[in-house]
Structure 1
Amino acid sequence: MASFSLVSTVSLPPEQPPVDSKPKRKRWILILSIVGAGIVVILALTLGLYFGLKKSSGGGGSNQESQDGTSTDSTKNETNHAIEDNVVDLGYSKYRGRELGNGITVFLGMRFAKAPIDDLRWRAPVAPESTEGIQSAEDYGKVCPGVKQGLGGQYHEDCLFVNVWTPATSNPDKKLPVMVYFQSGGYILDSAPYTNGTQLIETSDNNMIFVTFNYRVGLFGFLAGKDVKEDGDLNVGLLDQRLVLKWIQEHISKFGGDPDHVVIHGQSAGAGSVALHLVAYGGKDESLFAGVISESTFMPGQPKFDDLEYQYEDILTKVDCLDAKDRMACLRGKSSEDLQQFNRQGPFADRTYPATFYWAPCTDGDMFPDYPSKLYERGDFVKVPLLFGACTNEGSNYAVNAGSSAQFIRFMLNEYPYLTDNDTETILDLYPREPSLPKHDIWFPSASRAYGEVTFICPVNNILNAVAENYNSTDIWSYRYNVQIKDFVEEGRGVPHVANAPAVFGPDMLASRSRASYYTYNAPMVPIIMNYWISFVRALDPNKYRYEDTPRWENWGDDQRRLVFELGNLTMESVDRGELERCEAWWDMGNSTKQ
C-alpha cells in the first residue's frame, strides 16, 4: 500500500487577521479531529492487510466454529492446532490419525509398549521400539486374548495399543482434561476394546480428551507363582495399565491434553483396576491421575502370589513344562496357540466347580504390600476426588440359580475358596431366603444379593468409608443405579451389573444388550448421566457442568449419601443401615475373602 499524507489533503482557509480567538480554536479542534480519524483508518487498513496476508500463508488465527461444531468455510484451511495434517510425533514413532466429520480427530492403535511376546511374556511392559516414517493410526490394534478366545483375527499377544479421541482444534495450549477409560472383562477378557468416546467429547462441547487401551488379561496377564516372581513380573496386566498412565503423562499434551488433569475411569474390572491403582505401592502418589470414577467396582479375592502356585503348576503340567530345568523359559518358548488352548476358567484350590473369574490380580508384596482392603483401612491410598457407585442388582448376572441354602453356600465357596465354616454361617445369617424372582429358583435372590454385595457393592461402600475416615468425605460422591430395562426385570435380574454403561457413553458408542432401551424409553437418562460424568472429568465435581434442571449431587459425607438414578426420578438417599452392616461384616471377613 502506498503511503500518503493525510494533512496534505486538507484545505486550510487563507490566513485572516485575528479577530476572535474562539472561532480559531474551534477550527484547530476540527482539523486535529480529522487528522486523528485519518490515522486510525490508515492503521486499520494496514493491520487488516497484514493479517490477511498472514492468514493466506497459513499463519495463526482463531478457528471459528459453526453452531454444529464444524469449521466454517472461511476458516477451514486454518492450521492453528498442533496436530498438523493429523500427525503426532511421539518421539519413538509418528502417527497419523483420522479426522472425523464431527470435529473430532481419533488416533487408534498406537503402540505404548513393545510386543509382550517371547522373552517379554510375563514381564513388565517396556517402551516400544522406534519406527521410521509415519505410522497409520486409523484402525484399532489387536486385542489381548482372553479365556476361550481363538487367536487370529482380532486377537493376538501383540496387543498393547492405546487410542485417543481429541477435538480437531486441540493444541498444547488447550490443556484439556483427560478421561482414561479402563475396560471391563473380569480380568479374563478385554471385553470392551472398541468403546468409543465420540459422544462424550461432543456432549462436553469439545472440552475433554478420551483415551482407551488394551491390557493383558487371563493367563497372559495374571499368571502367578514363585517362579514368575523370580524370573518375571506378577500382575503384568496392571503394570500395562500403569505404563499407559505414564505414557499419558509424557505424551497427552501433544494431543491437547493436560497431564495434570487426568481422570481414570473404569467399569467392572476396569473399576476394580482404578481402585487398585489408588492403593498401588502402598498408595504412592506418582501424580498419574487427579480423580477417579469407579462404576460397579469389581473386587474379587486377591490371594498372595504363593497361594496361587497351583494355577502355575497346572499350566506347567498341561504344556509339558513341569519337569523342565528352566520352567519359565519353557513356558516362554511355547507358541501363543499352545498356551491359549489352556487359557480357561478352572476351580480354585480344593474346589470342584470352575470359578466365574479364575484369573485375577494377586497380592504380590510389591505393588500390593497387603490386601487392598487393609491398605484402604490404613489410609495407604492416593488422596484425590472420587466418584464410586454400583447398580442395584450387581450379582444377578453371576449368581447360581440355587434351589437350596446348600447350593447357595457351595457357590460362595467356589468364588471365595478361603471362607471358613464360621464365615458361611455368618453369610446365611446375613442373607436368609428372600421372596422369589421370575424364572429363578428359591435361593437365587439370596445368592444374587450376597455375591453382588461382596464383589461389587460393598467394595464401593467400604472404600468410601475408609477414604472418608482417612482423608475427607467432601470430595467423594456415590450413586445407586436403578434404571430398569424391561427385559431384564422380566428375567428376574433387576438392574444388573454395569447396566448404566449405555447412559455413560451413549448407546451408539458400545456394543451391549442393554443399549436398546436407551434409544427409546430410557433415552432421557443419557444426557443426565453423561453430563454428571463429564462434569466430574472437567471440574472434579459432578455438579458444576451437570445437565439443566437436575439436582445437586450431595457428597458422601458422614451420612453415607448417594444419588439414586431412576427414570424420571433422581433422589438422594442414605445407604440402608442393613446394607452397611452387611458390608461391615464382609470387611471383617477380609482375611477370608482376600480382598
Structure 2
Amino acid sequence: MLFWRPVLVLLGTYCGLVATSPFNNNVAPTVTLDNATITGVASGSVNKWLGIPFALPPIGSLRFQLPTPIPPYNTNYSATAYGPACPQQALTLPIPPGLPAETLDYLTNTIYNIVIPSAEDCLTLNVVVPADATPESNFPVVVWIFGGGFETGATSLYDGSAIVNKAIDLNLPTVYVSMNYRLTAFGFLASEEVKQAGVGNLGLQDQRQAMRWIQQYISAFGGDPTKVTIWGESAGAISVALHMVTNGGDTEELFRAAFMESGSPIPVGDITHGQGYYDFIVNQTGCAGSSDTLDCLRDVPYDTLMDVVNQTPNLFSYQSLAFVWLPRVDGVFLTANPQDLVLQGSVANIPFITGDCDDEGTLFSLSSLNITMDSQFQEFLQTYWYPNAPIPAVQQLMEYYPEDITRGSPFNTGPLNALTTQFKRIAAFQGDTVFQAPRRFFLEQRSDQQNTWAFLSKRLKAVSILGSFHTSDLSNVYNGGDMASYLVRFVNNLDPNGVGDLTWPKWTSNSPNLLTFLDGLIPQEITQDTYRAEEMAYMTNMSLQYPI
C-alpha cells in the first residue's frame, strides 16, 4: 500500500524546508540522555539529532527477534547523520513502451535512480525541534512512519525540518520524530514457525519500541510525551491504523491522535498464509534440513539471505499490491483480521484523520499490462486476491469494476490514459481494494464514536497515465503546503481547523465530508464521500470473508 519511496523523491519532497533564523549560530546542540551527551546539528531555525539508536542492532541471534530495548546511554554520541535504512527489497518496475515523456521521467528519476544505504543494524530514529526548545518546552510531538509497501523506505528521504518550520510559522511549535523499522522478510517473515515463536510483524514491533523510546526520552528534547500524534503514509499509514487496533485498542498512552495518508486497517489473513515464501527462503538458503529452520536463518550470511529475499515478488511485480511481505494475523500484535478487530471495537478511542489520493491504483497497475482480456482479469483476481472465494462472487465483483475505460482510473478522464483495455479497470480495483474501501469502512464504523476527519487529493490529475497517483499528496505536506497546516494544528489542538484555510468539517455517517484538494484557482472544496458506494461495499464484504 502503498507507499513509497517513489513518492518522496517523485515530488521532491525529501528536500524539506530550511529557513534562516536568529537561532542559527552554528553551535552544535546537545541533549543529555541518561549518562551520555548526544550532539546534534544546528540547521536554521531548527535543531536536529539524527541516527539515534533506539533498540539493539537486530543482527546475529537478534535477527528475526522482537526488538530489544537499548540499555541506558553511557557513551557520548554524535547524532549528525541519518543511520542506514533497513534492508530494502529490490524493485523491478517494468516501463512499457509508449509512456508519455513526463510519466517516464517520474518513473526513471525516482524508482530506478534512488540508492539508499542500508544495513541490518538500522534501528535508529531522528528528532527535529525548534532551535529554542528546552527540556521545559513540552511541545506536542508528531511521529512520522514512512511508507514503501513494507519493502522499501527510509527516514533519510524525509526532512522533518519542513514540518517543524511550518509549525514555527503557525506559532504552534512542534517536535518531529521519525524512525526506521525492519522491512521485507526481515520485518514481516510469515509462517507457522514464525507464529509459534511469537516473532511476527517485527516491523510493527520496531515502531512500537520507538514509541516507547519517545515516552522515555522526548522530554529531554523539549517534547511532551503526553501529546504524541502518530502519522504515516501508505505502509506507514497502514501501520498507524494497526497501532490503533492492536492491544484491544489500548494505546498504552503512547499516542493520543492519528493521521493517515493512503492507509487504513487493511484486511489480512493468518500469518501462515505466507508459508510458501518462508519455505522458499528456507530451501534457497540451505536451511531446509535444519531442526529449527527459523534459528538457522539467523545464521545465514546477510548477502546470501538478501539475494534470496530479492527473488520473491516485489511491489511492482505482476501481483503488485497483493503483497508478499506485509502485516498478518500473528496472534500477538494482530489477534484477528484488522477489519474484524474494528467490528469488535478493538480500536483506540482517539481523534484521527484519514484520506486518499483519487487514483491510488494507477502506479501499481503498470506491471499488469499483459492483462488484456476479461478472462485474464478474472484469473488475476482469483489467483492473488480472492483464492478462496467462489467464482460467482469474483464475477460479481468484476461487474462492479467493468471493462468500460470511462469508469476506470485515473477517474474522470474519459477515454484517456487507457494503456490497455484493462489498465484503468485494474487500477480502479487496486486503488479501491487497498486504499479507498478500507478507509471508508474505518470511517463508517468509528465516526459516530470518535472525532474523525477525511480528505481526498485530486491534485496532479493531469499527470499522464497516473493521474492523482499514490504519494502525490506528500508534496502537500513536506513542501509546506496547506495539508501541512492542517497537520500541525491537529497535532497541537486535536482539531485541524484554524485561520487561513477552508473549514474542515468532521466526517460523520449523516454527512461524510471530504476536504478535497484540487488543482487550479480553487485549491480546496468540501465534497461527499459517496462515490462508488455499491462497489466499495461489495468489495469490503469480499475482503471480510476472504482475506488474503
TM-score, normalized by the shorter chain, greater than 0.5? yes
The TM-score, its normalising length taken from structure 1, stands at 0.77
Q: Distance in 1 between matches of 2:388 and 2:515?
A: 33
Which residue is 2:532 aligned to? 579
Which residue is 1:183 aligned to? 146
Which residue is 1:161 aligned to? 124
Identify which of 427, 431, 441 aligns with 2:420.
441
- 2:488 is the alignment partner of 1:534: yes
**CA shift for structure 1 position 117:** 0.6
Quick check: 1:346–1:353 contact (8 Å CA) kept in 2?
no
Which residue is 2:62 aligned to? 120
Quick check: 1:184–1:269 contact (8 Å CA) kept in 2?
yes
The TM-score, its normalising length taken from structure 2, stands at 0.84
Larger gyration radius, structure 1 or structure 2: 1
Q: Distance in 1 between matches of 2:457 and 2:218?
A: 32
Which residue is 1:589 aligned to? 542
Q: Sort the Cα spacing of 1:580 and 1:339 in 2 relative to 1 into closer, same or farther, 3 A.
A: same
Q: Sort the Cα spacing of 1:265 and 1:431 in 2 relative to 1 into closer, same or farther, 3 A.
A: same
Quick check: 1:188–1:358 contact (8 Å CA) kept in 2?
no
Q: Sort the Cα spacing of 1:299 and 1:426 in 2 relative to 1 into closer, same or farther, 3 A.
A: farther
Q: Secondary structure at the match of 1:426?
A: helix
Across the two proteins, how many residue pairs are aligned to each other?
Answer: 486
Give unpaired runs (5+ residues) of structure 2. 1-18, 92-111, 407-414
Q: What RMSD, in angstroms, separates the aligned Cα atoms of the two structures?
A: 2.5
**CA shift for structure 1 position 89:** 2.1
Question: 1:278-427, aligned counterparts within 5 Å?
Answer: 278-297=244-263, 301-344=267-310, 346=312, 354-356=319-321, 357-399=323-365, 400-401=368-369, 402-420=371-389, 421-427=391-397
- 2:534 is the alignment partner of 1:561: no
Which residue is 1:476 aligned to? 452
Q: Distance in 2 between matches of 1:494 and 1:585?
A: 25
Quick check: 1:304–1:363 contact (8 Å CA) kept in 2?
yes
**CA shift for structure 1 position 233:** 0.8
Q: Distance in 2 between matches of 1:457 and 1:153?
A: 30
- 2:224 is the alignment partner of 1:258: yes
Q: Distance in 1 between matches of 2:128 and 2:338?
A: 32
Question: 1:76-87, aligned counterparts within 5 Å?
Answer: 86-87=29-30
**CA shift for structure 1 position 407:** 2.7
Q: Sort the Cα spacing of 1:71 and 1:85 in 2 relative to 1 into closer, same or farther, 3 A.
A: closer
* Amino acid aligned to 1:87: T
Q: Distance in 2 between matches of 1:378 and 1:459?
A: 16
Q: For each residue in 1:58-83, what CA deviation from the matched residue of structure 2 results, as whole angstroms up to 9, or x when unmatched?
A: xxxxxxxxx964249xxx79xxxxxx
* Amino acid aligned to 1:105: N
* Amino acid aligned to 1:394: E
- 2:127 is the alignment partner of 1:174: no
Q: Distance in 1 between matches of 2:190 and 2:117?
A: 26
Q: Distance in 1 between matches of 2:379 and 2:193?
A: 32
- 2:68 is the alignment partner of 1:144: no
Which residue is 1:456 aligned to? 435
Quick check: 1:164–1:212 contact (8 Å CA) kept in 2?
yes
Structure possessing the higher relative contact order (Cα contacts under 8 Å, 6 or more residues apart): 2
Identify which of 492, 500, 503 aligns with 1:552.
503
Quick check: 1:260–1:290 contact (8 Å CA) kept in 2?
yes
Quick check: 1:419–1:592 contact (8 Å CA) kept in 2?
no
Q: Distance in 2 between matches of 1:353 and 1:441?
A: 15
Q: Distance in 1 between matches of 2:36 and 2:187?
A: 26
* Amino acid aligned to 1:477: W
* Amino acid aligned to 2:77: Q
- 2:471 is the alignment partner of 1:501: no
**CA shift for structure 1 position 411:** 3.1
Quick check: 1:345–1:355 contact (8 Å CA) kept in 2?
no
Quick check: 1:408–1:444 contact (8 Å CA) kept in 2?
no
Q: Secondary structure at the match of 2:447?
A: helix
**CA shift for structure 1 position 439:** 5.2
Quick check: 2:126–2:178 contact (8 Å CA) kept in 1?
yes
Q: Sort the Cα spacing of 1:222 and 1:332 in 2 relative to 1 into closer, same or farther, 3 A.
A: same
Q: Sort the Cα spacing of 1:411 and 1:94 in 2 relative to 1 into closer, same or farther, 3 A.
A: farther
